[in-house]
Amino acid sequence: PRVPHACPAATQMIGRRLRLGVGARYLTTAAVRRGDLAGAAEAFASAPRKTTADYNRLLAGYARAPGGRLADACHLFDRIPHPDVVSYNTLLSCHFAGGDVRGARELFSAMPDRDVASWNTMVSGLSRNGAVGEARALFLAMPARNSVSWNAMVSGFASAGDMGMAEECFRDAPDKEDAFLWTAMVSGYMDAGDVDKATEFFQGMPVRNLVSWNAMVAGYVKNSRAGDALRVFKTIVRDADVRPNESTLSSVLLGCSNLSALGFGRQVHQWCIKLPLSRRITVGTSLVSMYCKCGDLEGACKLFSEMRTRDVVAWNAMISGYAQHGHGQEAISLFEKMRAQGVKPNWITFVAVLTACIHTGLCDFGIQCFETMQEIYGVEPRADHYSCMVDLLCRAGLLERAVCLIRSMPFEPHPSAYGTLLAACRVYKNSEFAEFAAGKLIQQNPHSAGAYVQLANIYAAANQWADVSRVRRWMKDNAVVKTPGYSWVEIKGVIHEFRSNDRLHPQLRLIHERLDRLEERMKAMGYVPDLDFVLHDVDESLKVQMLMRHSEKLAIAFGLISTAPGLTLRIFKNLRVCGDCHNAAKLISKIEDREIILRDTTRFHHFKGGHCSCGDYW
């Protein structure tokens, strides 16, 4: 099988160096460190005399590879003349990495000798594979324990979500100065969503290392507190006695993406350039993804073109970026280029390609990709691919085919499939399929507001106010709370957030004055407010006023009064942009002679000269 991240040029270089007499042992070690297992195997094979340590070196490379390369590891192990305890321990890791818990148990039982690392490998491996009870029994049976043993057990309880037992084990651990032990508690509470408790442990740590800081940054991002993640990153760079690594940067750049904090993301990029880290493929990929998600597609393209090496993750990031920005043809062209360069697409690649088809209306090409991905590329369709196909069919108006696809799925459809169908029912005014989709969504998650709100919207657009009231009572009976819509814009490094009919922003008077002037000019150009997007049974004049105070329009107006003429505005919304705001943004882009980039939950809209990049296909 193809080795992830293996570089053919590097493997050829190993061959040349071997012919020049460079030590096989050195070359094997270097190749293993960079993940080039094909090169490592070639260097290993060239060694005239092989020691057990040489075998163990290559075996360790298989253990670190995704999936553990178990078959290759077993084949190599069987060739070791005199395997030692390190050989057995490394093969144990391969079994767990490959998900072969039974094989790990059998190997552990058959080991002629065991050291503390053997027991630790079993405890951590069993914990990671969901057998935390068995791991605890082995932990208690250990003839001797070290700090790794206690860390493995605490991490095992934490990964199982049993923070009570994790904390009990933490209190029993003899070495309270161990930063990894404290970090396991921080990560565990972050994973459990208890940010306050995680912060309490972090602040109480007697010693912190980079892993501890990374746990806080990643935990804040995971718990939708990206602003706190950026604050911690600033502290690391300014005050901490550690230097950020690839993991730190991946987390903080994801935080920038979640906040759409392009300014801060650019600062992180500038900081990276000063370090060797900038040449790492994971950092380059994270930066490409950040630029795409923050609305700077041009910056992402430039960075991607400068990357010296690209793996499938990097290609996927750029293809997804094109797709989200509505550049479907460019996304598909890049997909073809990726294939031509011998990079094998994975399931995420096809999600990106299908998304490109969705946002540009390439229905036939999308269907062709979906139907051939398994036959040609060996990628079995997942729920994500089926959801994309439902979206593609719905946007093409083929609701009946979409419903048939949902009903024929070989597994329980993902909620996004029903959500897509429900959104399409509003566009095509199909109440029958709407009730079907909403019923399924509510059945899957009765406390999620999305299905209720969309169904109420469909009834409101049809002036069925009695049904709207019925849905709202239904929400009240099930204690469902609607997620409020809001938009935001970053001005000079500060994020300004707006809700519909906002009453808190200090510059509301100026914002409303600008909107009033824009409304007059838009109406002179033929703008007619789309009252279907007002979901309240009020008189028409009040509906018009409510439309002009939607959060997207407030954010755009604030951007206009806060930036120099001609500068691009980047607006972000936590929900899908409403149709009336979409129409207004097109006209405003022409009136103001500016590009307005608006990201909602599904894609980027580039408004320029009175047109949108989506071609009104959204």
> 127-158 pLDDT, tens per residue?
988 899 999 999 999 999 999 999 999 999 99
Cα–Cα separations (whole angstroms), residue 319 to 297, 304, 351, 381, 383 = 11, 11, 10, 19, 20
Is pLDDT at 20 greater than 60 in this prediction? Answer: no
CB 298 within 8 A of CB 331: no
Q: Give one DSSP letter per residue of 164-212, joined into a string.
A: HHHHHHHHH-S-TT-HHHHHHHHHHHHHTT-HHHHHHHHHH-SS--HHH
State the average pLDDT over residues 275-281: 84
User: 86-117 pLDDT, tens per residue?
Assistant: 999 999 999 999 889 999 999 999 999 999 99
Q: What is the pLDDT of residue 536?
A: 64
User: 472-502 pLDDT, tens per residue?
Assistant: 888 888 888 877 889 999 998 899 999 998 9
Helices (H) and strands (E) in the chain, counts: 33, 6
User: 526-537 pLDDT, tens per residue?
Assistant: 999 988 777 666
The DSSP secondary-structure symbol of 370 reads: H
Name beta bridge partners: 607.
596, 612
Q: Are strands 494-499 and 604-608 parallel, antiparallel or unpaired?
A: unpaired
Is pLDDT at 292 greater than 50 in this prediction? Answer: yes
**What's the whole-number average pLDDT of the chain?**
90
Gap between the Cα atoms of 261 and 131, Å rounded: 41
Is the pTM above the cut of 0.85? no
State the average pLDDT over residues 15-19: 45
Q: What is the pLDDT of residue 535?
A: 62
Is pLDDT at 462 greater than 90 in this prediction? Answer: no
48 Cβ contact list (under 8 Å, min separation 6): none
